[in-house]
Amino acid sequence: MTASIRRPWFGLSATLLGCLAVLAAVLPLWVLPVLQPPEPLDKVIVSTAEKVKARIAAHAKGVAYQEPVRHTDWYRAMAAAAATFGALAIVLAGVSAVAREPRRFAVVAAALGVGALLFQLSVAVATALIVCLLILVVLSALGVTLSF
């Protein structure tokens, strides 16, 4: 009598998705600025002014404004991919645990998925804190004091 060896397909696929989630969470911060540097501020200001001018001209003529074609925003695409892969890794880790596959696959996959989601959340929280600090600096420069 031979025992058949079952492969932990759910756990392996969950671990793979967790790794992809971590990569998608980390790539926009360290790799994308090197491959696709942000546009200079003066160019952004000029293009925004041109868009506003075109929108006002279209409104004055009574014509519907046609927005220019946007480029792919890789930062948003990677953030969506990180959240999706992280959630799928967590779900498949749960399925792996229910299917009684080896526990290490489920634990690693869940840790990777949760780690990618927390990394995304920490970047959003850090951005919000920086914006709040900038607002406080501007208010302080204007002479407005806030009492906490």
pLDDT tens by residue, 69-107: 877 778 888 888 888 888 888 888 888 888 888 888 888
Report if residue 45 sits inside a domain: no
Report if residue 7 sits inside a domain: no
Task: Give phi and psi for 5, each to the nearest 5.
Answer: -95, 120
Mean pLDDT of the chain: 83
Q: Residue 27 carries which side chain, given as an amino acid letter?
A: L
Looking at the structure of the chain, the number of domains it has is: 1
Cα distance between residue 118 and residue 11, in whole Å:
21
Residue span of the structural domain in which 88 resides: 16-40+74-139
Residue linked to tokens 């009492």: 147
Residue linked to tokens 């990677």: 78
The token pair at 44 is 């952004």
Report if residue 60 sits inside a domain: no
Report if residue 127 sits inside a domain: yes
Per-residue pLDDT at 1 exceeds 60: no
CB atoms within 10 A of CB 3: 5
